[in-house]
A and B are shown apart, each in its own frame.
Chain A
Amino acid sequence: MPPTAWTSTSERPRGGGWRGITGYGYGDCMGTAVILIVIIVVLGLIAVAQYNSLVRLNVGVDEAFAQIEVQLQRRSDLIPNLVETVKGYAAHEKDTFERVVNARAAATSAHGVAEVAAADGQLTQALRGLLMVAEAYPELKASANFMSLQEELAATENKVSFSRQYYNDNVRKLNATIKAVPGMWFAGIAKVTARVFYEVADPGARNAPKVQF
């Protein structure tokens, strides 16, 4: 740590015995000044480090949210192809298709963490419904196109849920830091406030890492 290294070298003049023998008045005055300067500089360095780490945590949360959006977009892009493929074998399951298409449209127009999370939950459920429908059609399940889509979807579902998990871990870290000393003293200066968790309404989705369609 640079601060400690700095302190130990700059403290040497007052700590060592050699200044003691130079006499009282002069040594005292100089000593106090040096001590004060050292304290101010150390406090300044601590403040800068705190400020930087808060900013870094805050940017980390932004980046984690961007990652969620990237993965949600990937999933969105997979849906038309998936719906078309299932339609080819199960054309009459109109309700299911409609629900997926509507949920996808809602997810595309969502903004902000809470709204995106809600739309994400809806789409996750709708997709689960679609895959449940697919279960009933053996020819569909056996088609090469559907099988490759299935891997893509399983991977994307995992990526979405891991990006949620990573985002929430980052929010937890940030919120814990600005609630405790000394983070709370610097949160205002760094303009960092507590962030909202990404909470998906679908209870099954939160422990989704082991998606097995």
Chain B
Amino acid sequence: MAVSFAARQEANRRKTILLLALMASLVALLVWAAGVYLGYSSVGIVPIAVGISLAGVWGSYYASDRIVLTMTGARLVDESSAPQLFNIVHEVTIAAGMPMPKVAIVEDEAPNAFATGRDPEHGVIAFTTGILRIMDREQLQGVAAHEMAHVANRDTLVSAVAATTAGAIALLSDMLVRIMWFGGGRRGNRDSRDGGNPLVLIAAIVVMILAPLAAVLLRAAVSRSRESLADATGVEFTRNPAGLRRALEALAADSTVVQQTSTAVAHVWIESPLDDSAVNKLFSTHPPLQERIAILRQMEGGVS
């Protein structure tokens, strides 16, 4: 059955909103747990946790272009030093009606690419030497469109929001568990209305302990929804699902893993640079390549 890129975009946008709403409800759940366990005067720690998390994430969001370039050792190129790559990115910006991003090359034999930047005016798209070596012009166009789609969909902002929320949840539950550990809890609270129902208490403790894990899973799910969205938006730009599909097939066939990548920047690459087999699919920042290929095939109108 043929699938339209517009429908896929709509579905993934809705998914992102749902996931971010789930993260917000997780914060609310923690506030409830804090209220039950420590009394409602303790919710004052919520803004503190969000503030600390925001302070930590904001810098890396605002300077994302410079930070990621430095961390990956990418080298900026221009029209004369990489004419074809520059042309390909320029083509895609015309299709997208967007400003030209900076184009960079990372010295790495593993085929991969990424995009970053806080807004389209500060966009950066980087390709590894490996991807430039193994892919033809049409495949590279598909990859450039996927990366340009990340810039167009402001995925640096979306992942910063997800990271902030996940960070706040981790901090919050850490604080709560510590307070609980050191006995600051029930003895002092007179404003709790639940009068010490043990089941409610246990539920609150479970929430405190499991919230960080749930936050990590939700954050990964947000990232996956943005990857699927970028695939669909990339197809909107080129109207050629086959290019990106063949590119992903080339990535699937290649077994080299990006050399110098840490988990800190894993989410920015087009293909997950981390080992796929060991890490649980739930924690992955990217949907499985085979699944993405199958969806692109459906967009080509063929039967998968």
A binds B: yes
- Give chain A's interface residues, CB within 8 Å of chain B: 60, 64, 67, 71, 148, 151-152, 154-155, 158-159, 162-163, 165-166, 170, 207, 209-210, 212
Residues of A within 8 A of B174 (CB): none
A142 to chain B, nearest CB (A): 18
Residues of B within 8 A of A207 (CB): 239
- Give chain B's interface residues, CB within 8 Å of chain A: 83-84, 87-88, 90-92, 94-97, 137-138, 141, 237-240, 242-243
Residues of A within 8 A of B243 (CB): 209-210
Asked if B95 and A210 make an inter-chain contact with CB atoms under 8 angstroms apart, the answer reads: no
Residues of B within 8 A of A154 (CB): 137
Beyond A207-B239, A210-B242, whether A155 also contacts B138 by CB under 8 A is no
Given contact pairs A155-B88, A158-B91, A209-B141, enumerate 10 new A-B contacts (beta carbons under 8 Å).
A67-B94, A71-B94, A155-B84, A158-B141, A159-B91, A165-B239, A209-B95, A209-B238, A209-B239, A210-B243
Asked if A155 and B90 make an inter-chain contact with CB atoms under 8 angstroms apart, the answer reads: yes
Asked if B138 and A212 make an inter-chain contact with CB atoms under 8 angstroms apart, the answer reads: yes
Q: In the assembly, what is the distance between CA of A207 and CA of B84, in Å?
A: 21
CB-nearest residue of chain B to A157: B91
Chain B interface mostly helix, strand, loop or mixed? Answer: helix
Q: In the assembly, what is the distance between CA of A180 and CA of B81, in Å?
A: 49
Asked if B84 and A165 make an inter-chain contact with CB atoms under 8 angstroms apart, the answer reads: no
B221 to chain A, nearest CB (A): 29
- Contacts A/B (CB < 8 Å), 21 sampled: A67-B94, A71-B94, A152-B83, A155-B87, A155-B88, A158-B141, A159-B90, A159-B94, A162-B94, A162-B95, A162-B237, A162-B238, A166-B94, A166-B95, A170-B97, A209-B141, A209-B238, A209-B243, A210-B138, A210-B240, A210-B242
Q: In the assembly, what is the distance between CA of A170 and CA of B138, in Å?
A: 25
A213 to chain B, nearest CB (A): 10
Q: In the assembly, what is the distance between CA of A155 and CA of B242, in Å?
A: 18
Asked if A155 and B91 make an inter-chain contact with CB atoms under 8 angstroms apart, the answer reads: yes
A96 to chain B, nearest CB (A): 25
Asked if B87 and A151 make an inter-chain contact with CB atoms under 8 angstroms apart, the answer reads: yes
CB-nearest residue of chain A to B238: A209
Residues of B within 8 A of A162 (CB): 91-92, 94-95, 237-238
Asked if A209 and B97 make an inter-chain contact with CB atoms under 8 angstroms apart, the answer reads: no
A107 to chain B, nearest CB (A): 19
Asked if A64 and B137 make an inter-chain contact with CB atoms under 8 angstroms apart, the answer reads: no
Q: In the assembly, what is the distance between CA of A66 and CA of B87, in Å?
A: 19
Residues of A within 8 A of B239 (CB): 165, 207, 209
Asked if A151 and B83 make an inter-chain contact with CB atoms under 8 angstroms apart, the answer reads: yes
B238 to chain A, nearest CB (A): 5
Q: In the assembly, what is the distance between CA of A159 and CA of B95, in Å?
A: 8
CB-nearest residue of chain B to A151: B84
Q: In the assembly, what is the distance between CA of A154 and CA of B137, in Å?
A: 10
Beyond A151-B83, A155-B88, whether A209 also contacts B240 by CB under 8 A is yes
Residues of B within 8 A of A212 (CB): 137-138
Residues of B within 8 A of A64 (CB): 97
